[in-house]
Amino acid sequence: MKKTGFTGRIINLDALTYAGNPVSLEDIERQYGGTRYFFEKGDICDRAFVEEVFRKYNIDTVVHFAAESHVDRSILGPEAFVKTNVMGTFTLLDAARKYWRTEAGEMRESAQTGVLFHHISTDEVYGSLGDTGSFSETTAYDPRSPYSASKAASDHLVMAYHHTYGLPVTLSNCSNNYGPCQFPEKLIPLSILNMLESKPLPVYGDGKNIRDWVFVEDHNNAVWTILQKGKTGEKYNIGGENEWENIKLLHTLIDIVARKTGGSAEAMRNTVTFVKDRPGHDRRYAINCAKLKHELNWKREVSFEEGLSKTADWYLANTQWVNGIRSGDYKNWIEKNYGKR
């Protein structure tokens, strides 16, 4: 991760649901806890709590990562996605408007200048592409899953608060993220861990669905760039310019893991299992991130091969983290330190 020169405070607001694991930030807590890093356990749908966080810390910038994000889970239980992604975004927006602005829309004297609400979204709001073309910032929205529909709704709310109330906002739509600390339900960590345990490697449909992948550090650097240089009221696509068929990605990952572990790539390939496709599975995503590159001078720094290698190394070296998630130990840690939800 780039050194940014940032000297301010970060307040991490998280409900610590199934994928929230504060153990992943223990090094940050040790180094900066109580001085520049503060953790607040709570739900972004809890208006009183959110408003209290704004007052307590005099918040001047919101970077809204919080979301239910797994498409399969949204198909099985869409209500949680509507609640968190739509109502949670509304609650944050309205709390920011209340704290930063008067009813007449003017900046409060007590608020700091340069306030900003940055909203993190997804390329899935754009729908599915054919064999050619890519999503730009002006592509019409065409969400196909409860997850992408809930994110599309939140995007529209963010822009509506900008146009209606003058709330200073920026918005980014990113392609598939991957890297260390990703919850093991996602394709890349799930596949790595299944390879290590000789479990089947599930692939939806024919495996030819295409996704654009961006390493988590490149995504975070892009968000930081937007915070520093982005224009209020603008949206920016963040992509890896890195399209891969799911099945080809899996075979590349097999080669990497086999090389690192001394395992048999052939044996791993024999465990590839094609399963029934999920409903509404978009065929292809591709991001055009020229606006971010040319206007804000951002560039991707981690190649896919390098990113996959780093990711595999992290999961190989952090089996305790993985086992803690699988066993539920991290939930006990959360209850001990922060109480039950």
pLDDT of 287-299, one tens digit each?
A: 999 999 999 999 9
Q: Which residues are catalytic?
A: 123-124, 147
Query: Are 298 and 221 a contacting pair, CB within 8 Å?
Result: yes
Q: How confident is the model at residue 270 (pLDDT cuts 50, 70, 90)?
A: very high
Q: What percent of the chain has pLDDT over 90?
A: 80
Residue 274 has pLDDT above 50, yes or no: yes
- Tell me the pLDDT tens digit for each residue of 175-227: 999 999 998 889 999 999 999 999 999 999 999 999 999 999 999 999 999 99
pLDDT for residue 332 = 61
Higher pLDDT among residues 109 and 294, named by residue: 294
Q: pLDDT band for position 340 (50/70/90)?
A: low
pTM, entire model: 0.91
pLDDT of amino acid 23 = 83
Domains and CATH numbers, the chain: 10-181+214-242+288-308+329-338 (3.40.50.720)
d(CA 104, CA 93): 16
Q: Which residues contact 180 (CB under 8 A, 6 or more apart)?
A: 216, 310, 311, 314, 315, 318
243-245 and 210-215: which strand pairing? antiparallel
- Is 98:51 a contact under the CB 8 Å cutoff? yes
Q: What are phi and psi of 102, to 5 degrees?
A: -85, 170
Q: 101: pLDDT confidence band, cut at 50, 70 and 90?
A: confident
Please choose, from the candidates 150, 143, 105, the residue with its C-alpha nearest in 3D space to the C-alpha of residue 124: 143
Neighbour tally for 66: CB within 10 Å: 21
- Which carries the bigger pLDDT value, residue 191 or residue 330? 191
pLDDT for res 24: 87
What pLDDT, on the 0 to 100 scale, is given for residue 20?
79
Q: How far is CA 264 from the centre of its chain?
A: 33
CA distance 251 to 231: 41
- Average pLDDT value for residue range 128-142: 95
Report the C-alpha gap between 46 and 92 in whole angstroms.
Answer: 9
Query: Which band of pLDDT confidence, cut at 50, 70 and 90, is reported for residue 112?
Result: very low
Cβ distance 66 to 121 under 8 Å?
Answer: no
Give start and end residues of each alpha helix (H) in the chain: 26-32, 47-57, 71-76, 78-81, 89-100, 146-165, 187-196, 216-229, 246-261, 265-269, 290-296, 304-317, 319-327, 329-338
What average pLDDT does this structure show over 57-82?
94
Give me the mean pLDDT over the 254-263 stretch: 97
- Please determine, for residue 169, whether its predicted confidence score (pLDDT) is greater than 80: yes
Distance, CA of 230 to CA of 334 (rounded, Å): 36
Q: Per residue in 222-253, pLDDT tens?
A: 999 999 999 999 999 999 999 999 999 999 99
Band of pLDDT at residue 111, cut at 50, 70 and 90: very low
Give Cβ neighbours of residue 54 (< 8 Å, ≥ 6 apart): 95, 96, 98, 99
- DSSP annotation string for 232-269: TT-EEEE--S-EEEHHHHHHHHHHHHHHHHT--HHHHH
Between 27 and 338, the more confident residue is 27
Cα(173)–Cα(289) distance, rounded to whole angstroms? Answer: 10
From 15, 21, 14, 41, select the one nearest 185 (Cα to Cα). Answer: 21
Residue-averaged pLDDT of the chain:
91
In terms of Cβ atoms closer than 10 Å to its own Cβ (0-12, 13-18, 19+), residue 291 is middle
> What pLDDT score was predicted for residue 110?
45
Residue 69: predicted pLDDT: 87
